[in-house]
Structure 1
Amino acid sequence: MSNILPPALVRRLGNSAGFDTAAFEAVHEQEGGFTAIRANTAKWKAPTGITADPVPWCDTGYYLTNRPIFTLDPLFHAGCYYVQEASSMFVAHAIRALGLDKQPLIALDLCAAPGGKSTLLNSYLHVDSLLIANELIKTRATALTDNLVRWGQSNTIVSNNDPSAFGNLPGYVDLLLVDAPCSGSGMFHKDHEAVNAWSEAAVQLCRERQQRILATSLPALKEGGVLLYSTCSYSTEENEQIADWLCDTQGLEPIYVPVAAEWGIEQTQSDKHACPGYRFYPHKLRGEGFFLAAFRKVIKQPTFDRRKPKSERAAVPALGKWVANADDYFTFTIGEDIHILPKKWEADLYTLRNMLYLRNAGTYVGWIANGDLIPAHDLALSLARRMDLPMLTLTKDDALEYLRKGNLAPVINAQGLRGWVLAGYEDVALGWMKVLSNRINNYYPKAWRIATM
């Protein structure tokens, strides 16, 4: 018996047909896990300068041989990639296998922080979709917002609400992703300390919490819409039993997601409704413990009257100077801050603002001072920004000094640029600088600056 794993957990898993208890215990004796990243191909086509093997079920995912210090990589701060556990990248395969990328839709990532699956949805859903990324806990909602800003998409709204709030938007979303809070046994290989918080009682409490989250939020899913349910737990109570409960009580039917045998993913079926489930075990593949199941809503779901509200568009002088294809967006304000969102989602924004507490919406482009737009940091990282704006390309040392919000010597400005200039590294933007004749003002946000190393 492993000295790491709870005996009750191992005993239950060992009752599954064909489960290799010895191999499962052996891999958990080796703490550390696997390091993987997922590339933001809208900014960065593929990892360079590092040894990387592809993640089989995600064509933008890569395993790293060693775990670098990501804080010291300017490309990380530019939003060129996200550090994400490889097993959870399976959501990308589910999106494509179910054809959810073929046309624009409204997607809700209900338990979204810190943003791994939200940034994945941004990359894999149809480019004209709307993504609502929700997080209940305020501090985690801040990290979620920051990560989505780095990713650079303008079709995203971040909300900070209890899942039950979405019950007030019946029949609204086409896709609901619930990566539910769970007992966390799937992380034991990566973090041995997590074992101390696990118990059979905690599993039952998590199961009850998962049912509450699902029951109160599922009215938001339209008839015919898709639910992707996932956990990082090995317990059937939180996985296959939840699948049967969804079919029994929530008007859902299971959906099969085809997978390649060589990927090493364990395919299961729930006891009552034979719901397909997909289990990831670290002794069978290069990933941590993970579970996913897919469902379609088959019961009638009444919706609500979405009246188009009176426009609140903000006038922005020379927006086209900063934003590519500016006519594709509408402008609105949050306080004094000016944001943009694709025009097709204007009515949706006003609906959501009336029903939810929103932390961020679209891309924050700046504010008006003396009749001119002062560009926001978010705009520098946005894919909506004009790509022909002046950029001063920095060496790695200078880029790190910029990210520390340090002083940059005017001598680096060999191009003789003036005014608002992007600080760049390997052709991607890190943020803004104001270049004057005798100095360079560093406008990197104080809250984002990295520690001196």
Structure 2
Amino acid sequence: MDTTIFPKNFLNSLQDEPGFDPKDFIQAHQNTPSPTSIRLNPFKPADINTGGKVPWCEEGYYLDERPSFTFDPYFHAGAYYVQEASSMFIDHIVKYIKPADVDIKVLDLCAAPGGKSTLLSSLLNAGDLLVANEIIRTRVPVLTDNLNRWGRSNTIVTNNDPKDFNHLKGFFDIILVDAPCSGSGMFRKDPAAMREWSEANVNLCHQRQERILADVLPALKEGGYLIYSTCSYSRQENEDIADWVCDNFGLESIVIPVDNRWGITVSQSRRHQASCYRFYPGKIIGEGFFVTCLRKTANSGELPVYKNNAQQKLPATEIAQIKTCVNEPEEYYYFKVNDDWLAIDRRHKESLNILHKNLYIKKSGVRIGTIAGKHLIPDHELALSTLINNNVFNETQLDYDEAITYLRKDNLNISAPKQGWSLMTYQGLALGWAKLLPNRVNNYYPKELRILASAPKAGN
């Protein structure tokens, strides 16, 4: 077996890690390709060819081969998300800990590009609230785009440092911290990650992980759950972090049931015997992953009472027009940001005000559009959302070639009996808007999302 493909001292650093089998590990990295897996959007059913089932995630599937996702209209419509199978174990954890009859607030702290946020979104009811935060500003747009494709209206995207959540004492019921790490779990999928690995970087990541958790844990309510994960195999970044939060923040371990047939390694932290879950290529069909779930037993204080008495003075005629675009319109709170109309479940109005006071918000609910004169200019978010009232808008069904032309933002040559704004759809799923005129079609697909790549050659 060739061990020289790994960074110096890497294999030696794993010798005492729970469940590590060097023979299986090396063979998996040398001889087994990284599997491709997707997670279906339960709110946008589509006829998608899949392979085997990801055993710990109801909507997760392996693909027999990796297609060109860029040239799949289903992908752009938000019918599925391309996600690494091991990380879908978050689905199993949340289903186990989530209360059935109580509305909850969930924070995904390090959310971009959006895999775990869209997973959480799939598990939440309309009365639940998801806050997807990304620390790095340049990564926020891709997070927002992926959540827009997923289509839910109970989502807020923020761009804040973990310390900014300090002010939200006990606000969240579940906090997911998929922490920045040394990345050894991605060596097979991304061999370039090997060049970044070192024992010094592991120690640096450990310190950073402690700082992130110390900053955000005051925002977790007493009795709430922390889900902590990495794509690292190093104990310093995993079990040792579980012990550290138990020592310093009054958390206790939650045992998540695991089927022995899944191949997941169940480990324990040294001091508090916190239950932890490790994923090794060669034992599972997926990449390297670590996760633990802990419940907070201490109280970080109460969120100050915040009353927002300043109400926007909004024109009733515009509100009435906006409501026609939405299914069950009385269930939503409507507000404006500059000239844009937005909607969010009315149960989240107070939470939105609190978050707006404390955080930098990049997306809240669904952007409906703007009113120009007496007419609505619909937004792309509305087209992809699950709250849209399809009875209000014309719909133009596109075949595959027409859908790709539309997604390239090229000129469409189609004949349509009805003029005006039209929802462009593929196999019943919305892709975006176009305006149908007597002699042309104005393509309103967002230019920043358009397909730029060349089509794959036949047989590739």
TM-score normalised by structure 1 residue count: 0.96
Q: Report if aligned partners of 1:38, 1:60 keep a CA contact under 8 Å in 2.
A: yes
What does residue 43 of structure 1 align with? 44
Larger deviation, residues 143-152 vs 301-310 = 301-310
Q: Does 1:157 align with 2:159?
A: no
Alignment match, 2:205:
206
> What's the offset of the Cα at 1:266?
0.3
1:123 aligns with 2:122: yes
1: CA distance between counterparts of 2:324 and 2:434? 17
Structure 1 pair 16–159 and aligned structure 2 pair: CA distance change class (3 A)? closer
Aligned residue identity for 1:306? V
Shift of 1:253: 0.7
Give the alignment partner of residue 394 of structure 1, picking from 386, 393, 398.
Answer: 398
Q: Is the 8 A contact 1:251 1:298 kept in 2?
A: yes
SS at match of 1:176: strand
> Could you tell me how far 1:391 is from its partner in structure 2?
1.2
Once the two structures are TM-superposed, the CA of residue 390 in structure 1 deviates from its matched residue by 2.2
Instruction: Tell me the matched-pair count.
Output: 448
- 1:364 aligned counterpart, secondary structure: strand
Answer yes or no: is the 8 Å Cα contact 1:421–1:432 preserved in 2: yes
Taking structure 1 as reference, are residues 159 and 17 closer, same or farther at Cα in structure 2, changes over 3 Å only? closer
Query: What aligned pairs does 1:234-253 form with structure 2 within 5 A after superposition?
Result: 234-253=233-252
Distance 1:433 1:206, change over 3 A: same
| In 2: Cα distance, 1:328 partner to 1:278 partner | 40
| Alignment partner of 1:374 out of 374, 377, 397 | 377
* Range moving further from structure 2, 367-376 or 230-239: 367-376
2:76 corresponds to: 77
* Equivalences for residues 246-261 of structure 1 within 5 A: 246-261=245-260
Identity of aligned residues (%): 48
d(CA) in 2 for partners of 1:101 and 1:137? 34
Q: Deviations over 1:337-381 (max 9, x none)?
A: 111111011111111111111111110010110132211011000
- Cα separation, 1, equivalents of 2:354 and 2:19: 51
Q: Return the alpha-carbon distance in structure 2 between the equivalents of residues 313 and 8 of structure 1.
A: 64
C-alpha separation in 2, matches of 1:390 and 1:226:
45
Q: How does 1:327-406 map to 2 (within 5 A)?
A: 327-388=330-391, 389-406=393-410
Displacement after TM superposition at 1:437 (Å): 2.1
Task: Please report how far the alpha carbon of residue 220 of structure 1 lies from its aligned counterpart in structure 2 after TM superposition.
Answer: 0.4
Query: Once superposed, what is the RMSD of the aligned Cα atoms?
Result: 1.5
Once the two structures are TM-superposed, the CA of residue 312 in structure 1 deviates from its matched residue by 2.7
**Cα distance, 1:101–1:31 mapped onto 2, change above 3 Å:** farther
Counterparts of 1:144-183 in structure 2, within 5 Å, are 144-183=143-182
Gaps of 5+ in 1: none
Equivalent position of 1:216 in the other structure: 215
Counterpart-to-counterpart distance in 1, 2:98 and 2:340: 37
The one-letter amino acid paired with 2:404 is L
The alpha-carbon deviation at position 336 of structure 1 amounts to: 1.4
SS in 1 for 2:9: helix
- Distance in 1, matches of 2:166 and 2:154, equals 22
Aligned to 1:429: 430
Q: Secondary structure at the match of 2:247?
A: helix
Are the counterparts in 2 of residues 263 and 285 from structure 1 also a CA contact under 8 Å?
Answer: yes
> What's 1:94 paired with?
93
Q: 1-side partners of 2:313 and 2:30: how far apart?
A: 58
Residue aligned with 2:107, SS? strand
Residues 238-317 of structure 1: pairs in structure 2 closer than 5 A: 238-310=237-309, 311-312=311-312, 314-315=314-315, 316-317=319-320
Instruction: Give the C-alpha shift of residue 102 in structure 1.
Output: 4.7
Kindly state the Cα deviation for residue 31 of structure 1 after the two structures are TM-superposed: 6.8
Contact 2:126–2:345, Cα closer than 8 Å, also in 1: no
Distance 1:306 1:319 in 2: 31
Residues 81 and 346 (structure 1), Cα distance of their counterparts in 2 relative to 1, 3 Å cut: same
Cα distance in structure 2, aligned partners of 1:31 and 1:209: 33
What's the CA shift for 1:26? 1.1
Q: Residue 194 of structure 1 aligns with which residue? A: 193
Q: Distance in 2 between matches of 1:169 and 1:417?
A: 50
Any gaps of 5 or more consecutive residues in structure 2? Answer: 455-460
How far the C-alpha of 1:13 sits from its partner, in A, is 2.3
Cα distance between partner residues in 2 of 1:145 and 1:79 = 13
